[in-house]
Amino acid sequence: MTTAFGIIIIGDEILSGKRADKHLPKAIELLAARGLPLAYADYVGDDPARITATLARAFAAARASGDVVFSCGGIGATPDDHTRGCAASALGVDLLLHPEAKDLITERMRDVAAEQGEVFNADRDDNIHRLNMGVFPAGAQIIPNPYNKIPGFSCAAGAGSVHFLPGFPVMAWPMMAWVLDTIYPHLHQKLSYQEKSIIVFGSMEATLTPLMIALEAEHTGVKVFSLPSVDHPIYGRHIELGVKGSPEAVALAYPALLAGLGLFAFKTGPELVR
């Protein structure tokens, strides 16, 4: 079983274009720095039924194949924050105030009161409401938040887990890094992959397809890809043809790709390694 990493990005503001998503490129960056690929991404608005269905699929993948999924957004305590409840519904468990989360949120409220020169009152209505940010699905574990102490949470499902982070990048990104470095250091580099490709001029994808099919048939675990472009600022019209997979598999498949490409009379450009 190979662990796959996924991400879910939640929020109407992303789908409406009010805010541009920054989580996807950052997740790719954080994973790549540890030699890990991102396998899939989902976007969903602030609709409880859709969020629940999306999370149910994530938990099913975690159970079936040990997937690790990050969910960003919707874990606050305003009426449009549905993620905590949807996670509980997807798991079929109750929502409970996590004791450690309660302590951290209370500590944050004390800090804010001190900064504002006020006496902290735990029984004030707004402070009682803020504790809802620590109400998680039963059995959840907290994810520390170095920005303001308001934690995220993790829910295990089989060999995998779904990790719930705030929508704010300044909070979510260090929390995602913490999860990767604290819970999954044993996976760093072990799932590493490499891409090697070459720029090809004057060809159609259909012409290269038989070569691509043959390479995948002969080299197990390697994916062959072609990325056509018609208006690249440097190369103009071209196809980027390459292979990706483990470094060991790519080391065998890429020379075969070049050899097969050599049977054609196409002009080629630079070779690329990622």
d(CA 9, CA 124): 33
Strand partners, 226: 241
What does the pLDDT read at residue 263?
Answer: 92
What does the pLDDT read at residue 194?
Answer: 85
Per the CB < 8 A criterion, the answer to whether 134 and 97 are in contact is: yes
> 3-state class of 118 per DSSP?
coil
What does the pLDDT read at residue 191?
Answer: 63
> 3-state class of 163 per DSSP?
strand
What does the pLDDT read at residue 112?
Answer: 93
Taking the chain (274 residues) in consecutive chunks of 10 residues, what is each chunk's mean pLDDT? 90 95 97 92 97 98 96 94 97 97 96 93 92 97 96 96 97 98 90 86 94 94 92 92 91 95 93 89
d(CA 61, CA 266): 43
H-helix or E-strand spanning residue 102 = helix 99-115
Which residues, in sequence order, are CB contacts of 216 under 8 Å at separation 6+? 222, 223, 224
The pTM (predicted TM-score) of the whole model is 0.82
Instruction: Return phi, psi of residue 7, to 5°.
Output: -140, 140
d(CA 170, CA 168): 6
List of domains in the chain: 5-187 (3.40.980.10), 194-273 (3.30.70.2860)
CB atoms < 10 A from the CB of 196, how many? 20
Residue 203's nearest CA partner among 233, 166, 237 is 237
CB atoms < 10 A from the CB of 65, how many? 15
